[in-house]
Amino acid sequence: MLQLIKNAKVINEEGQLELKHIVIGNGTIQSITDAGSELPQLDGEFTEIDAEGKLVTPGFIDMHVHLREPGFEHKETIESGSRSAVKGGFTTIACMPNTKPVTDSADTVSLVLEKARQANLAKVLPYAAITVNELGRELTDFEALKEAGAIGYTDDGVGVQNAQMMKNAMKKAAVLGMPVIAHCEDDSLVKGACVSEGKFAERHGLKGIPNESEAIHVGRDILLAEATGVHYHVCHVSTEQSVRLIRQAKEIGIKVTAEVCPHHLVLSDEDIPGLDANWKMNPPLRSPRDVQACIDGLRDGTIDIIVTDHAPHSEEEKAKGMELAPFGIVGFETAFPLLYTKFVATGQWDLSFLVQRMTSDPARVFGLNSGVLSAGAPADLTMIDLDQEQEVDPNTFATKGRNTPFTGWKLKGWPVKTWVDGELKWSEQQG
Ligand SMILES: NC(=O)N[C@@H](CC(=O)O)C(=O)O
Ligand SMILES: [Zn+2]
Ligand SMILES: [Zn+2]
């Protein structure tokens, strides 16, 4: 059946807001017409939703998330994670392979896809591991993993320590036309630290994670990407040095792309209130100077896309404290309101800039057919109430995770409805 979404504010190609009527049906966008003119004439039965001037964007695309299934269902399941995603306005999410078992076999890729099909919420795109069990010793079967539906290779959670191993991975991926996605961290420079080197670590007498532990892998991998011609994508960029290296690599035409997380754009180590593990993630919150470099990198196109790195953990695990708790914070349900409130509502970014980094840019970088509002495109849509102001309350989250540093933050711009392939998957009214 057709659905008419009338009086929706959409961002046009010039980045201006225009009032439109959107018709969706058969999973795709059928038409987008001026709200100034007549309502479109629809044959047969249709449902009607009045957007009343609320913003409608392409559904958000998050290319870096942890859904924890199989193996860590106490933290999240594919069902609970996808529900959290659609509540946050995300319609496509790419999940990391650091599950139990690690997603390093065709069977596990198939299992993830089957669970996602059953959940029937967001579109779930699985990544497969670069090395067996993410141990860095032996490459996985890249061909079989691609065949099973994996969209790229990554050992997210750990860095690939051996340069020759990484080079072999890139060579294979390049032949298959697949990207290599890297968690950049040199273990010899980390040595069991839980926060960044810097003011917070000094004040609390903690060992710190140095910026070089990330950037040294970025630099190494850029050289390996140049040598192999692979599409190399850098995970969760957090340092000034990484931004500099990626900028230089892009200038000379190396096929490198990069992502940044909302928390690395909004928080520095100086904001950490105390030894609370809801502020612990990998990479850690860095200095204000690094935060500014990430913002500048996103602004000038060095960093291509925004991802959440949604990383749920149980309250028991996070209660172990800053040094012992696992790294990671949840992200789906706060990402857009956080960035909208911090950067768009304050006049620093255009709304279209933020929306593109969460929709058309990830689609372009990873070759997806979604991320745009035009007739014929998949009807993956997000409706957002830009005026609605609300405090972040983890007790209302759809994710099983409660691990966020943003509790109590007053934010504007909350998603209120999400459609995937034309089906309404979440609505504020339904809760
Ligand atoms: N980002 C995190 O702090 N944690 C991630 C792992 C990762 O993304 O490296 C996790 O799996 O919990
Ligand atoms: Zn990572
Ligand atoms: Zn991650």
Is a pLDDT exceeding 60 seen at residue 315? Answer: yes
> Does residue 431 have a pLDDT over 70?
no
By alpha-carbon position, which residue is closest to atom 6 of ligand 1?
157
Mean pLDDT of 309-320: 98
The ligand placed nearest to the CA atom of residue 329 is 1
- Taking the CA of residue 282 as reference, the ligand 1 atom at the shortest distance is 3
Q: In this structure, which ligand is nearest to the CA of 214?
A: 2
Mean local confidence (pLDDT), 204-223: 98
Ligand 1, CB within 6 Å, residue ranges: 66, 98, 156-157, 183, 281-282, 309, 311, 326-328
What value does the mean pLDDT take over residues 32-56? 92
pLDDT of residue 428: 93
Q: Is the preceding peptide bond at 40 cis, omega within 30 degrees of 0?
A: no
In the chain, where the domains are located: 2-56+377-427, 57-366
Query: Please, are residues 153 and 130 in contact by the beta-carbon 8 Å criterion?
Result: yes
Is the predicted pLDDT of residue 185 greater than 90, yes or no?
yes
Binding-site entries for Zn(2+): 64, 66, 156, 183, 236, 309
Say how many Å lie between the CA of residue 28 and the centre of ligand 2: 34
CATH architecture of 2-56+377-427: Roll (2.30)
Burial 341-353 (b: 16+ CB within 10 A, else e): bbbbbeeebebbb
Of 148-157, 176-185, 188-197, the one with minimum mean pLDDT is: 188-197
Q: 56-110, pLDDT tens digit by residue?
A: 999 999 999 999 999 999 999 999 999 999 999 999 999 999 999 999 999 999 9
pLDDT score for 44: 84
Q: What is the pLDDT averaged over residues 111-137?
A: 99
Least Cα distance to 10 among 2, 25, 21 occurs for 21
Going by pLDDT thresholds of 50, 70 and 90, the confidence category of residue 429 is: confident
Which CATH number is 57-366 given?
3.20.20.140
- Spot the catalytic one: 290, 304, 309, 361: 309
pTM for the full model?
A: 0.98
Say if residues 72 and 96 touch (Cβ distance below 8 Å): no
Instruction: Enter the tokens of residue 52.
Output: 């009343």
Residue 140: predicted pLDDT: 99
pLDDT tens per residue, range 377-390: 999 999 999 999 99
Q: What atom in ligand 1 is closest to the CA of residue 280? A: 3
Residues with Cβ < 8 Å from 203, sequence gap 6 or more?
Answer: none
Q: Residue 302: how many CB atoms within 10 A of its CB?
A: 25
Please tell me the predicted confidence (pLDDT) of residue 430. Answer: 59
Tell me what the mean pLDDT of segment 10-14 comes to: 95
**Residue 140, CA distances (Å) to 16, 102, 145, 172, 218 in order:** 47, 11, 8, 11, 22
Please give all residues whose CB falls under 5 A of ion ligand 2, grouped by chain where several chains appear: 156, 183, 235
Confidence (pLDDT) at 224: 99
Q: Which residues, listed in sequence order, are joined to residue 126 by a DSSP beta bridge?
A: 95
Question: Which ligand has an atom closest to residue 157 CA?
Answer: 1
- The mean of the pLDDT values for the chain is 97
309 among known catalytic residues: yes
